[in-house]
């Protein structure tokens, strides 16, 4: 059975409309091929990280491809999310990870990109 750290429960997913709006309006972003990421952090809040995964219909018309890419991003994040907590910083972090390539890449490439994104976010906090 998986430990609590290796899960991605609903409480760690960014779902509310207001939080998503705030993230996209006042968050800071970056790009690590093939992912674009946007981060909004509040250092005074208790430690919590919420994440949103997206694959635009503009690049991938078929829903099964978009679902495949989102599943790969979620799994890569789930396996490497400890990189954020290891940074030793505290605060609430909201993050959107957006797949920005027209190609369907393998899991290893996506995992390396997610790892780089998490390291960049941890350094920026």
What CATH number is given to the structural domain containing 36? 3.30.230.10
Mean pLDDT of 38-48: 81
In a domain, 1, yes or no: no
> From the centroid of its chain, how far is CA 93?
10
pLDDT tens digits, residue range 70-93? Answer: 999 999 999 998 888 776 666 789
- Domain total of the chain: 1
pLDDT tens digits, residue range 95-114? Answer: 999 999 999 999 999 999 99
Question: What domain range is 21 assigned to?
Answer: 9-124
In a domain, 120, yes or no: yes
Question: Whole-angstrom Cα distance, residue 125 to residue 15?
Answer: 22
Mean pLDDT score of the chain:
89
Mean pLDDT of 47-70: 93
């Amino acid at each position: 059975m998986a430990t609590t750290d290796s899960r991605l429960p609903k409480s760690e997913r960014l779902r509310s409309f207001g939080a998503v709006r705030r993230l996209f309006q006042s968050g800071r972003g970056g790009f690590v091929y093939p992912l674009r990421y946007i981060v909004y952090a509040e250092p005074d809040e208790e430690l919590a990280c919420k994440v949103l995964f997206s694959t635009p219909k503009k690049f991938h018309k078929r829903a099964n491809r978009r679902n495949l890419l989102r599943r790969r991003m979620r799994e890569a994040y789930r396996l490497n999310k400890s990189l954020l907590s290891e940074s030793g910083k505290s605060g609430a972090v909201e993050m959107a990870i957006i797949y920005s390539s027209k190609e369907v890449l393998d899991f290893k490439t996506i995992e390396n990109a997610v790892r780089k994104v998490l390291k960049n976010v941890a350094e920026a906090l």
